[in-house]
C-alpha cells in the first residue's frame, strides 16, 4: 500500500470512528427531550455551513456545478442521505436497534456489487470473503446472536432500504468525484439538499420549535454535526477519491465497532462473547482486505 493510499484509508477509518459516536450523541440529545427530526436537521446544518465557509475561503470556484450534473447531487442528497436516514429511523421503530444496525451493514455487499458493475472494480475472492466476514461481524456486534432478532416484513424492507441508501452515498459520491468535483462541493450540495427536506419535515411535524426551546440539546446537536457530519463526511469523501469504492465501504464497518465500544465505556453497556467476536471479525476483515493492496494511487486532497 502506497503512502497516499494509506492516507486515504486512514481518513476513511477516522470517518467511520466519528460516525460511530453518533449513537452516543443521539442517546444524550434525545434524553434531553429533542426529537430525531430537528436533531438530524441541526446535524446537517452543522455539516454544510463549515464546509461552505471553507469553500468560500479556499476557492470560491468550488461552488460552481454544471446544470447537467445537478441530478447527481440531488440523487445523493435524496436517494442516499434522506432515504437512508428515514429508512433507518423507521427500521429502529419497527424492529430493534440491533436488528436495524445489522441490516444497515448489508451496505458493503451492495457497494461491492454496484462498484463491480458501474466502476468495473474487480470482484476478487478476497473482497467477497472479507465483505461477508465483515457483515457477519457487524451482525454479531449488533447483538443478533444473543436472540435479539425482531424482524417483520416491513422491518426487513426498511432495514434493507437503509443499507441501500447508505451504500448509494459511496456510489453517487464516486460518480461526482469522477466528474472533477471536490469532496467539499459534494458534501455542500448533497447535504444542502437534505437540509431543505428535513426543514420541511420539522415544520410539518411541529418539532422546529425545539431548536429554540432546548438550547442545550441544540448546542450538542450542532457539535454532533461538526464531528459526525462535517468532519466525517469530508474525510470519507476525500479518502474515497483515492480508494476503491468497495474497499472504502468495507473499511467503514469500523463504525458499529466504535459504537459498541463507546456504549461499553460511556454507558456501562455489557459486551457479550459474540459481540467481542464480532469486533474481532470486523477488524480482521479490514486488515485482510487492505493487506498488500494494489489499489490505484490517487492524491487525497
| Cβ-proximal residues to 212 (8 Å cutoff; 6+ apart), any chain | 218
Banded model confidence at residue 167, pLDDT cuts 50, 70, 90: very high
Q: What is the model's pLDDT at position 142?
A: 66
Residue 254 has pLDDT above 70, yes or no: yes
Mean of the pLDDT values across residues 266-274?
77
Poorest-pLDDT segment among 40-49, 245-254, 258-267: 258-267
Q: What is the model's pLDDT at position 97?
A: 66
Residue 293 has pLDDT above 60, yes or no: no
This prediction's pTM:
0.84
Does the residue 298 lie in any domain?
A: no
DSSP string over 246-280: HHHHHHTTHHHHHHHHHHHHHH-----HHHHHHHH
Q: How far apart are CA 193 and CA 195, in angstroms?
A: 5
Q: What is the model's pLDDT at position 297?
A: 41
Q: What is the model's pLDDT at position 148?
A: 52
Q: Which residue has the higher pLDDT, 54 or 142?
A: 54
Does the residue 127 lie in any domain?
A: yes
Rounded percentage of the chain residues whose pLDDT exceeds 90: 48
Does the residue 300 lie in any domain?
A: no
CA angle 191-195-196, nearest 5°?
125
122: exposed, middle or buried (Cβ count in 10 Å: 0-12, 13-18, 19+): exposed
Total number of domains in the chain:
1
Q: What is the model's pLDDT at position 96?
A: 67
Poorest-pLDDT segment among 33-42, 117-126, 167-176: 117-126
Poorest-pLDDT segment among 10-14, 167-171, 266-270, 282-286: 266-270
pLDDT digits 0-9 by tens, 66-97:
999 999 999 999 999 999 998 988 887 777 66
Does the residue 97 lie in any domain?
A: yes
Q: Please name the residue that has the C-alpha cell 451496505.
A: 107
Poorest-pLDDT segment among 30-34, 54-58, 157-161: 157-161
Query: Phi first, then psi: what are they for 296, rounded to 5°?
Result: -65, 145
Domain range for 146 is 3-290
| Cβ-proximal residues to 188 (8 Å cutoff; 6+ apart), any chain | 48, 51, 52, 55, 62, 63
Q: What is the model's pLDDT at position 135?
A: 84
Tell me the pLDDT of the chain averaged across its residues: 86
Does the residue 295 lie in any domain?
A: no
Residue 294 has pLDDT above 70, yes or no: no
Q: How far apart are CA 100 and CA 151, in angstroms?
A: 9
| Cβ-proximal residues to 49 (8 Å cutoff; 6+ apart), any chain | none
Of 5, 294, 288, which is closest to residue 132 (Cα–Cα)? 288
| Cβ-proximal residues to 11 (8 Å cutoff; 6+ apart), any chain | 235, 236, 238, 239, 300
Q: Which residue has the higher pLDDT, 171 or 278?
A: 171
Does the residue 301 lie in any domain?
A: no
Poorest-pLDDT segment among 49-63, 127-141, 261-275: 261-275
Mean of the pLDDT values across residues 275-301?
68
Does the residue 262 lie in any domain?
A: yes
Does the residue 51 lie in any domain?
A: yes
Mean of the pLDDT values across residues 9-36?
89
Q: How far apart are CA 195 and CA 235, in angstroms?
A: 20
Q: What is the model's pLDDT at position 295?
A: 43
Mean of the pLDDT values across residues 148-172?
84
Amino acid at each position: 500500500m502506497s503512502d497516499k493510499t494509506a492516507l486515504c484509508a486512514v481518513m476513511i477509518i477516522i470517518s467511520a470512528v466519528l460516525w460511530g459516536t453518533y449513537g452516543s450523541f443521539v442517546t444524550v440529545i434525545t434524553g434531553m427531550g429533542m426529537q430525531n427530526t430537528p436533531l438530524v436537521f441541526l446535524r446537517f446544518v452543522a455539516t454544510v455551513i463549515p464546509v461552505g465557509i471553507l469553500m468560500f475561503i479556499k476557492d470560491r470556484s468550488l461552488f460552481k456545478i454544471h446544470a447537467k450534473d445537478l441530478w447527481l447531487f440531488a440523487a445523493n442528497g435524496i436517494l442516499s442521505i434522506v432515504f437512508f436516514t428515514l429508512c433507518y429511523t423507521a427500521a429502529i421503530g419497527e424492529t430493534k436497534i440491533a436488528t436495524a444496525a445489522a441490516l444497515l451493514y448489508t451496505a458493503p455487499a451492495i457497494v461491492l456489487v454496484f462498484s463491480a458493475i458501474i466502476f468495473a472494480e474487480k470482484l476478487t475472492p478476497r473482497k467477497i470473503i472479507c465483505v461477508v466476514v465483515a457483515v457477519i461481524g457487524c451482525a454479531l456486534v449488533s447483538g443478533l446472536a444473543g436472540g435479539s432478532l425482531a424482524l417483520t416484513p416491513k422491518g426487513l424492507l426498511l432495514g434493507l432500504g437503509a443499507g441501500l441508501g447508505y451504500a448509494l452515498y459511496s456510489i453517487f459520491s464516486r460518480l461526482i468525484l469522477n466528474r472533477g468535483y471536490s469532496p467539499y462541493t459534494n458534501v455542500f450540495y448533497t447535504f444542502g439538499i437534505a437540509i431543505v427536506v428535513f426543514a420541511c419535515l420539522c415544520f410539518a411535524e411541529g418539532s422546529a420549535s425545539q431548536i429554540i426551546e432546548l438550547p442545550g440539546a441544540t448546542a450538542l446537536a450542532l457539535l454532533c454535526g461538526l464531528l459526525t457530519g462535517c468532519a466525517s463526511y469530508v474525510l470519507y469523501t476525500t479518502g474515497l477519491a483515492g480508494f476503491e469504492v468497495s474497499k472504502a465501504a468495507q473499511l467503514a464497518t469500523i463504525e458499529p465497532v466504535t459504537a459498541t465500544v463507546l456504549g461499553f465505556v460511556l454507558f456501562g453497556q455489557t459486551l457479550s462473547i459474540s459481540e467481542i467476536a464480532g469486533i474481532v471479525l470486523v477488524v480482521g476483515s479490514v486488515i485482510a482486505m487492505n493487506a498488500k493492496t494494489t489499489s490505484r494511487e490517487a492524491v487525497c486532497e
